[in-house]
Copies of this chain bind each other. A is one copy, B any other.
Amino acid sequence: MDRHARISALLAMLAKEGKIEVEAAVTALGASPATIRRDLVYLDEQRLATRTHGGVVANSGSFDLPLRFKIGRAAEERKRIGAAAAALVPIGATVALNGGTTTLEVGRALAARPELASRRDSEPSVTVVTNAVNLAGELLVRPYLKVVVTGGVVRAHSYELFGPLAERSIQALSVDITFLGLEGFDPVFGASSHSDAVASTDSLLVKAAAKVVAVTDSSKLGRRAFAQICRAPNVDVLITDSGADLAVLARLRSLGIEVLAV
């Protein structure tokens, strides 16, 4: 068991557990506590983890915050939606993701796609533009992803960046696909958000994209949130879960939107 093997094993433990205890690593890897400590210091220096008493904790954990405290039933649906959305991204594409729990799952699914990670080019496989700080924090560890953050003021509620700085940044960019998380999607009112400031920023992400994919669990369909992001026909594809109301889906299809219920 050489150093590389140990570091690899430790990183695997870190990804799985979110933390590593010296004692646990000693018994798992069969090395001395001194060596394990040195390895953990190395992980800390490489910013892959943060040293604590007794071990280390994963760094992405500091961003792995619950947006709101509703990590309940919809988790599984969101993961399926995220996987379906990530499958739409070709290698070499540039995509944009706004904030929200669903787009977070899209980002995670994208990062987990094996055909991206296995490429050995020096160029990143996919470029991800996002105005969500927590999403950026989760993705930036992957060398095969180029992560671009829009500027702006942070909205503590959802970790989204908005404001003039964000809008000017986005106006300078053009992307292949925007994956749009939202809080309401109605055939008439279109896509909407609870915050007008964020809705304004999100609308620019829509304008900057050649293709717009709305991602949302079915509870948001047919509902209107406070501020409009864009009209429904601006959305090219909708990915939602199979619990969606078929009548609403039919109306959306009649507007020319391609609907995927996963």
Interface residues of chain A, those whose CB is within 8 Å of chain B, are 2-4, 15-16, 18-19, 21, 46-47, 50-54, 57, 59, 61-73, 133-134, 136-138, 140-143, 146-154, 156-159, 161, 163-166, 168-169, 172-173
Most buried by B among A3, A47, A136: A136
Q: A65-B67, A137-B134 are in contact. Are A54 and B169 (CB under 8 A)?
A: no
Q: How far is the CB of A93 from chain B (nearest CB, A)?
A: 16
Q: A57-B70, A65-B67 are in contact. List 9 more A-B contacts (CB 8 A).
A: A51-B72, A52-B71, A61-B70, A62-B68, A65-B141, A148-B152, A149-B149, A149-B153, A151-B169
Is the pair A153, B147 in contact by a Cβ cutoff of 8 Å?
yes
List, in ascending order, chain B residues with CB within 8 A of A165's CB: 148-151, 169, 172-173
**Complex-state Cα separation, A147 to B142, whole angstroms:** 25
**Complex-state Cα separation, A173 to B22, whole angstroms:** 45
Is the pair B69, A66 in contact by a Cβ cutoff of 8 Å?
no
Is the pair B172, A168 in contact by a Cβ cutoff of 8 Å?
yes
Q: A138-B62, A151-B150, A172-B165 are in contact. Are A73 and B51 (CB under 8 A)?
A: yes
Is the pair B52, A73 in contact by a Cβ cutoff of 8 Å?
yes
Q: How far is the CB of A117 from chain B (nearest CB, A)?
A: 14
Q: How far is the CB of A205 from chain B (nearest CB, A)?
A: 13
Q: How far is the CB of A140 from chain B (nearest CB, A)?
A: 4
**Complex-state Cα separation, A254 to B216, whole angstroms:** 61
Q: Can you list 30 A-B pairs with a CB-CB distance of less than 8 A?
A: A2-B21, A3-B53, A4-B52, A4-B57, A15-B69, A18-B68, A47-B159, A51-B73, A52-B73, A53-B73, A57-B70, A61-B68, A62-B70, A62-B138, A63-B68, A64-B66, A65-B65, A133-B133, A133-B149, A134-B137, A141-B156, A143-B156, A146-B153, A147-B154, A148-B151, A149-B154, A150-B165, A165-B172, A165-B173, A168-B172
